[in-house]
Structure 1
Amino acid sequence: MHVADIESIIERTPTPEPTIGVTTGPIRGSRKIHVAVPTSPDVRVAMREIVLDPSCNEPPLRVYDTSGPYTDPRATIDINAGLPPIRSGWIASRGDVESY
């Protein structure tokens, strides 16, 4: 095969469009919960309750959850739309933001 033949094959080979994806859904052995902040009831902190082995006789362990909406089974994910601006009202109410 000649170099010209190889170049012709390369030119005819379509380049696949890259796909954007993200892992979503619940994490096995735990569930996502949201805890209200006593000083700001409209702010909810994402936590994860991890189910421990029944033999330990302990309640689920709560840990801070940084996964955002991606592990919330009730969330609709559109990776192209980005994250919803859920903090915009809280940030604006601080009075230290300039709009332009």
Structure 2
Amino acid sequence: MTDAIDSPTQTPAEQDLARLVVSSLNIEDVKAEEIDPQAPLFGDGDLGLDSIDALELALAISKHYGFQLRSDNPENRQIFSSLRALSAHIEEQRTN
């Protein structure tokens, strides 16, 4: 059996976040369920997001999940590294 952290299949929380990513960034050529949860979100990843997308996504996350992602957080590169990492950070913040 494969751990969820190593699985290319989205967890329910990752599915919810993937839908938010696609809808908030108006991504038309990728379906939420097709996003690899381990693939990079930015740069050369499947989505090829940029810094403007990061700002829009952070705003959408704050509205949807009820907490703010700070732009001065030194861990942002890791937090936004993949759908899985971002989802894990959201779940961690929601339980605090």
Name the TM-score, length of structure 2 as normaliser. Answer: 0.26
Q: Which has the larger radius of gyration?
A: 1
Per the normalisation by structure 1, the TM-score is: 0.25
Q: Which has the higher helix share?
A: 2
